[in-house]
Structure 1
């Protein structure tokens, strides 16, 4: 073979080796890039598609060691919110923003038997509803009344249900578990989680003043699910209840008429275990899950 032919073959072999190395480097760069299908971002995109289909906008996730979100209330400053854990967690109100970032916390000098809900009067008072009652056997139901700026000063509303006679009642009557509440015009409204038929949420009312009280049955709402959160819009015309991956919207001229309305049911499938709900304005809801996700929903 001539010297020229040997030189040509050597050049071709060298070129092929360089191309193979370049292709390998390119493949590695693609695999490491943010747009690679191997990255978690691709999977997250699929989750976002489900959220959009459910009418939800993902806005944040709990951070800073907040264990879960079992309820929501407005915070000290606009754009801040209080949340908390339920049975088995410390008696702490966590102050967060809409992104889920921890801004502060207030430990209360009271037990957390089963905190399940928060309500606020818009004037700085938070009502911590310790009324989780899975077995319907509790006789120590209480609502703690506190200004978060003075967490060491807590007053109590001890209460019982007017129509509960047995602790626990027969299984078919176990509808005395409360995970949802709201404050309106000097009263606290409690919405039960039906553990018997899963078809009715009973609505009770109490005064927002400290002392021992009997919660009076106001009405019964036919709901095919278990209510875990409640709130009323600032104008009083929209009542929102959240259940396990479902939203129930009641409209009226005021709360009384809204409670008589036929609700619009919105599926929240894919959102997680929805627990907390709060109106940001008359047409925007903030919804939280026990897993720590935060969503906006536009009416």
Structure 2
């Protein structure tokens, strides 16, 4: 009887979780319940960061949900880490760009040497400090690297909500900068769905994906820094969890993760862009 009850309970929990078009991969380690950025490694592992109020650490996990390593990021503080990116040399960038209360006038991106080469339990960080032009104050949860620049996509917290996302860029090396305005776009106008929560660019640089709460916006056929001038495709993922992270695994396969909320989340998923 106990086995039957447990089985029914498992079915009930599964029915309460709507993954939509996403394919469940694994449950992430308990420490990663507030994951806010993921980065795929070619050895089938992930680097993961956590958001506001969590340790200044970079975590490594695998596709079985096993925690493999923790690296303390020196010369850094987790004010509100929101996304993570990598350049062609393996350097990693952590976007400390959350700004929920709108009080942060200057934001930081931490640049780390390739953590795959780190043999200890600490890693040094350089600071890329920046501010938005014209004394504008934004928060951002989305970052990607392209051609020696870091691209930052803002999260709309305006009221009334418009859904508009602004694109800025800063050089991908240590310094203090005023971010350069690149462009803007409106993925959609539904509050609670259309906030931008993560971004990534494909290995060949031809596809950019922007994540929202259950939506995915895919940009292709762009020829300039302002990728919004290219072709945008909207994909309804059909998922109802708090999706916060995205990373290309290859040219067409994406990895996504969500924060833990109640009985849902803290999962790793995959999704194919192939039609």
TM-score by length of 1: 0.78
1:107-146 correspondence runs (5 A): 107-109=72-74, 110-146=76-112
Moved more, 253-262 or 153-162: 253-262
Quote the Cα distance in structure 2 between the aligned partners of 1:245 and 1:189. 22
1:78 is the counterpart of 2:43: yes
Alignment of 1:17-166 (within 5 A): 28=1, 32-33=3-4, 38-46=7-15, 50-51=18-19, 54-75=20-41, 77-109=42-74, 110-147=76-113, 148=115, 149=118, 151-165=122-136
Moved more, 177-186 or 65-74: 65-74
Change (3 A) 1:184 1:121: same
Deviation at 1:288, TM superposition (A): 0.8
Q: What is the Cα deviation at residue 271 of structure 1?
A: 4.1
| Paired residue total | 255
Contact preservation (8 Å) 1:71, 1:83: yes
Higher percent of residues as helix: 1
| TM-score between both structures, scaled by the size of structure 2 | 0.85
Cα separation, 1, equivalents of 2:219 and 2:48: 24
Distance of aligned partners of 1:96 and 1:87 in 2 relative to their CA distance in 1, 3 Å threshold: same
Post-superposition offset of 1:185: 1.2
Gap change, CA 1:152 and 1:280, over 3 Å in 2 = closer
8 Å CA contact 1:248–1:265 kept in 2: the answer is yes
Q: Distance in 1 between matches of 2:246 and 2:230?
A: 20
The aligned residue for residue 24 of structure 1 is: none
Residues 141 and 271 of structure 1: CA distance in aligned 2, closer, same or farther (over 3 Å): same
3-state secondary structure, aligned to 1:247? strand
Per the TM alignment, residue 38 of structure 1 is displaced from its structure 2 partner at its CA by: 4.8
Q: Tell me, which stretches of 5 or more residues in structure 2 are unaligned?
A: 189-193, 261-265
Q: 1:234 to 1:67 in 2, by over 3 A?
A: same
Greater CA deviation, 256-265 or 209-218? 256-265
Aligned residue for 2:10, secondary structure, equals helix
Quote the residue 1:12 is aligned against: none
1:215 matched to 2:189? The reply is no
SS in 2 for 1:83: strand
Distance 1:63 1:152, change over 3 A: closer
Q: Which runs of 4+ in 1 moved over 6 A?
A: none
- The alpha carbon displacement at 1:68 in A equals 2.1
Q: Which structure is higher in strand share?
A: 2
Whole-angstrom CA distance in 2 between matches of 1:251 and 1:210: 30
| Partner of residue 259, structure 2 | 290
In the alignment, structure 1 residue 233 sits paired with structure 2 residue 202: yes
Q: 1:45: how far off? A: 4.5
Q: Distance in 1 between matches of 2:180 and 2:216?
A: 25
Instruction: Report Cα offsets for 1:153-174 as digits up to 9, x if no partner.
Output: 2111111011335xx6xxxxxx
